[in-house]
Structure 1
């Protein structure tokens, strides 16, 4: 399984994602420039956190028009795995690959802390190594992380089991329904505000994010075996 980590101007968590996959999970991973126009040979795509294009206009709004984005949209529509964390989540909503939008935190302040989450769907390609209803802790670091969607969209997300992670005990940004991460209807695209790539080593005090990447790699292997 070959994984692309897309680098936009202003990305600052691309190295975190790369090292979580390469150093910790020993995965085949490669940086891909936002200028590139195809994703030939890749099986999964990662959109990192950061401040793409300085978050001008809206977070992710300019990155959505990068050369690489049509290839990512096609990639997702083919059922291949796409993951976005923080700014990556914002880009996925701006591109229409995930419903809703991320607006400024209700506090209007940047929030950086570790937060408790509940796994509300462990049947996605990204969460099969978690237990249903399990509580985990992951870091957050964002100013525009309040998830918003129209009532009908929220109802559909809940009905379809597309809410994968939910804030517990504390909602740090005002996200509706305490939403911290969602998938598309097919389940092959996941966006979340917390940073699992920053919680993959016991040496750093937390490895609750590691199973997300292990789930992806395990399900990617199954998909490859089924295609043979």
Structure 2
């Protein structure tokens, strides 16, 4: 039986269809989850996709953090459920305190949409074990509020614990502190990434196939996880 990966749709989600397609291309079953339904339908992992949940009318992710589905995801993630937050999903994970820090307005106050080189720093997470440490990958970035910030103690702790998952290379598109593009929780089952791996899974539409590694990683993780 193939792994079942949930993909949440919030009002304003833009990339839930792309995330579901990436899951299928990796070889798993994509299970669509609705923001207003607290039932995770027995999925093995969850993806929080990019977009503008609830219109970003307060702060990005601040309203989505209180959605019924998130109430269940928060508890399940703390019990070990793998969760990947992409762009707006990363913002939601920070608002839900599953990840430290915050995502704020880009330092230059402009929206950025371009193909971006990242260096994968941490390969021990549920979502990055298919990569090699230091591997450089090319995936799209598209955000207006993607600047990762945290206090110095938190940043130092992330560095010391190996929880900086990826950094921007060849230019920082949003002014993120220490060029941070992705971070994880201490257990490594929760990862937030600002660029979009789900847009780099097919030669026809992406700048590379590098994003597929995030989705094959979770299958590798689940295959080795205890029943």
TM bucket normalised to smaller: over 0.9
Which residue, out of 205, 214, 217, partners 2:216? 214
Displacement after TM superposition at 1:25 (Å):
1.8
Which segments of 5 or more consecutive residues in structure 1 lack a partner in the other structure?
Answer: none
| Residues 68-100 of structure 1: CA deviation (Å, up to 9, x unaligned) | 111010110111100000000000000000000
Moved more, 160-169 or 36-45: 36-45
Secondary structure (helix, strand or coil) at the match of 1:203 reads coil
> CA RMSD for the aligned pairs?
0.9
Aligned to 1:11: 13
Secondary structure (helix, strand or coil) at the match of 2:68 reads coil
1:179-194 → structure 2 map (5 Å cutoff): 179-194=180-195
Cα distance in 2 for residues equivalent to 1:8 and 1:40:
17
Aligned to 2:62: 61
Aligned to 2:153: 152
Aligned to 1:74: 75
Aligned to 1:100: 101
Aligned residues: 224
Aligned to 2:86: 85
Q: Residue 122 of structure 2 contacts residue 164 of structure 2 at CA under 8 Å; is this kept in 1?
A: yes
Q: Residue 31 of structure 2 contacts residue 43 of structure 2 at CA under 8 Å; is this kept in 1?
A: no
Cα distance in 1 for residues equivalent to 2:42 and 2:112:
37
What TM-score comes out, normalization by structure 2 length? 0.96
Cα distance in 1 for residues equivalent to 2:124 and 2:163:
10
Cα distance in 1 for residues equivalent to 2:102 and 2:152:
13
Displacement after TM superposition at 1:220 (Å):
0.8
Cα distance in 2 for residues equivalent to 1:5 and 1:125:
16
Aligned to 1:119: 120
Which segments of 5 or more consecutive residues in structure 2 lack a partner in the other structure?
Answer: none
Displacement after TM superposition at 1:210 (Å):
0.7
| Residues 130-167 of structure 1: CA deviation (Å, up to 9, x unaligned) | 11101111101100000000110001000000001000
Aligned to 1:138: 139
| Residues 14-52 of structure 1: CA deviation (Å, up to 9, x unaligned) | 000001112x12311111100011224111011000000
